[in-house]
């Protein structure tokens, strides 16, 4: 969990490194542009089921980004992010089902609710470090599904039966614009994909800016050396709680999107296993890497299916083997692996 090499270079740009850096930045931009184009075209070519899967990948990626802000950048462990995901999902479902609020507005609501819950949970968690914090958040993950089934809350949560919600149709103005351009109208899955993509872009950009800002440096300073950070005048308690809140916000928005995509919420959807999946996605994608979170989403969604395709009976064991291989081959996650490849190819092209 050390700062990436970009940062180290950026702080002390040696003349030789600077040209390499700008070249790499251009590569970065090219890569982002390529990925974006691919992301925009994909649902037009893919089956609607694949579009749905890609939507889920983005949603899990966003949830993992939330966990990454807390664990990767601030050094606090959490096994309780399934709770924030669930609270976000339920906020969206209840608003849509009970009060007929448009799905668009459920996202800020879910984010807000989760920010408050995360911030408040972060306050007592300040006293806990490392594995003790992991245990406290574990308790949160265990308690949430039971609270969702709790009888007095049932008129709101629907109890064990959960809540079924309607999938949003593409808004009319989009269809009008498309027919104006003589293009085919898009279906609900494609619309949700683009909607999610837009949300993801905004939130990933915001996260990247946050990490690069003064606040972000404070957050990382607390991770690297809390005593030194406090000595430099950083309000450690406030920043840690705020990071907890922001992390919960991200995961909560992902939960709300997840509820809209799946069209159903139930307490059994947000068990402790979801927390573990998010943690696996975090480690595989790269702790402390923002684009790595998306790769984590890919892993969380597709690898269990892949394992099952190999053998139904041994799916769990095969998943474990794949996980071990990935950790062994990419010890610092997909992001670290990509950095390593870039460094190797960069050197080769320079030697030519």
Partner 1 sequence: MSVTRRSLLVSTAIGAAAAAMTRPARAEKKYDTGASDTEIKIGNTMPYSGPASSYGTIGKAEAAYYQMINEQGGVNGRKINYISYDDGYSPPKTVEQTRRLVEQDGVLLMASPLGTPTNSAIQRYLNQKKVPQLFVSTGATKWNDPEHFPWTMGWQPNYQSEGHVYAAYILENKPDGKIGVLYQNDDFGKDYLKGLKDGLGAKASMIVSEGPYETTDPTVDSQIIGMKSAGADVFVNCGIPKFAAQGIRKAAELGWKPLQIVSSVGNSVGAALKPAGLDNAKDVVSDFYIKDPTDPQWKDDAGYKEWVAFMDKYYPDGDKTDAGNVIGPCLAQTLVQVLKQCGDELTRDNVMKQAANLKDFAVPMLLPGVKINTTPTDFAPLKQVQMAKFDGQRWILFGKVLTG
**27, 77, 186, 237 from 332: Cα distances, Å:** 21, 17, 39, 29
Whole-number minimum distance, CB 54 to partner 1, in Å? Answer: 12
Query: In the complex with partner 1, which residue's Cβ is closer, 142 or 237?
Result: 142
Q: 129-158: which residues touch partner 1 (CB under 8 A)?
A: 146, 149, 151
Instruction: Please pick, from the candidates 61, 258, 281, 285, the single residue that binds partner 1 as defined by CB under 8 A.
Output: 258
For residues 335 and 292, give the distance between their C-alpha atoms in angstroms, rounded to a whole number.
5
Q: Measuring CA to CA, which residue among 229, 213, 141, 186 is closest to residue 44?
A: 186
Q: Which stretch binds partner 1 (CB under 8 A): 36-44, 105-113, 241-249, 271-279?
A: 271-279
Tokens at 2, concatenated = 């050390």
Q: Which stretch binds partner 1 (CB under 8 A): 19-27, 232-240, 278-286, 304-312?
A: 304-312
The answer to whether the beta carbons of residues 261 and 196 sit under 8 Å apart is yes
Q: Which stretch binds partner 1 (CB under 8 A): 20-28, 210-218, 286-294, 306-314?
A: 306-314
Residue 159 sits in the site that holds partner 1 (CB under 8 A): yes
Instruction: Please pick, from the candidates 128, 304, 322, 323, the single residue that binds partner 1 as defined by CB under 8 A.
Output: 304
- As to burial, measured by CB atoms within 10 angstroms (0-12 exposed, 13-18 middle, 19+ buried), residue 9 is middle
Q: Measuring CA to CA, which residue among 204, 172, 191 is closest to residue 36?
A: 204
297 Cβ contact list (under 8 Å, min separation 6): 56, 57, 58, 59, 60, 61, 62, 63, 64, 281, 285
Q: 193-232: which residues touch partner 1 (CB under 8 A)?
A: none
Residue 310 sits in the site that holds partner 1 (CB under 8 A): no
Instruction: Please pick, from the candidates 30, 40, 104, 160, the single residue that binds partner 1 as defined by CB under 8 A.
Output: 160
Note the residues at the interface with partner 1 (CB under 8 A): 47-50, 52-53, 56, 146, 149, 151, 159-162, 164, 258, 262-269, 271, 273-274, 301, 304, 308, 312-313, 315-316
């Amino acid at each position: 969990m050390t700062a990436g090499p970009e940062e180290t270079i950026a702080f002390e740009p040696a003349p030789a490194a600077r040209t390499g850096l700008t070249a790499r930045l251009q590569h970065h931009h090219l890569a982002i542009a390529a990925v974006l184009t691919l992301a925009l075209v994909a649902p037009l070519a893919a089956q609607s089921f694949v579009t749905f899967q890609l939507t889920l990948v983005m949603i899990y990626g966003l949830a993992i980004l939330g966990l990454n802000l807390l664990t990767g950048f601030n050094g606090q462990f959490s096994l309780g992010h399934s709770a924030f995901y669930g609270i976000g999902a339920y906020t969206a479902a209840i608003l849509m089902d009970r009060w007929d609020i448009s799905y668009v507005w459920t996202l800020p609501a879910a984010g807000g609710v989760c920010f408050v819950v995360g911030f408040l949970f972060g306050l007592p968690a300040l006293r806990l470090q490392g594995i003790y914090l992991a245990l406290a958040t574990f308790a949160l993950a265990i308690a949430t599904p039971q609270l969702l089934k709790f009888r007095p809350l049932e008129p709101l949560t629907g109890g064990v039966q959960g809540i079924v919600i309607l999938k949003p149709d593409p808004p009319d103005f989009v269809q009008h614009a498309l027919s104006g351009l003589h293009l085919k109208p898009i279906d609900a899955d494609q619309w949700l994909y683009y909607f999610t993509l837009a949300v993801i872009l905004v939130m990933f950009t915001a996260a990247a800016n946050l990490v690069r800002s003064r606040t972000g440096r404070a957050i990382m300073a607390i991770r690297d050396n809390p005593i030194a950070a406090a000595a430099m005048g950083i309000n450690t308690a406030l920043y840690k709680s705020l990071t907890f809140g922001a992390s919960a916000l991200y995961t909560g928005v992902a939960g709300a999107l997840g509820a809209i995509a799946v069209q159903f919420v139930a307490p059994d959807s947000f068990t402790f296993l979801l927390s573990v999946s998010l943690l696996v996605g975090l480690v595989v994608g790269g702790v402390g890497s923002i684009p790595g979170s998306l790769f984590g989403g890919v892993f969380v969604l597709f690898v269990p299916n892949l394992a099952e395709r190999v053998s139904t009976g041994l799916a769990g064991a095969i998943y474990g083997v794949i996980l071990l291989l990935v950790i062994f081959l990419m010890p610092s996650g997909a992001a670290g692996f990509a950095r390593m490849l870039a460094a190797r190819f960069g050197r080769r092209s320079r030697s030519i």
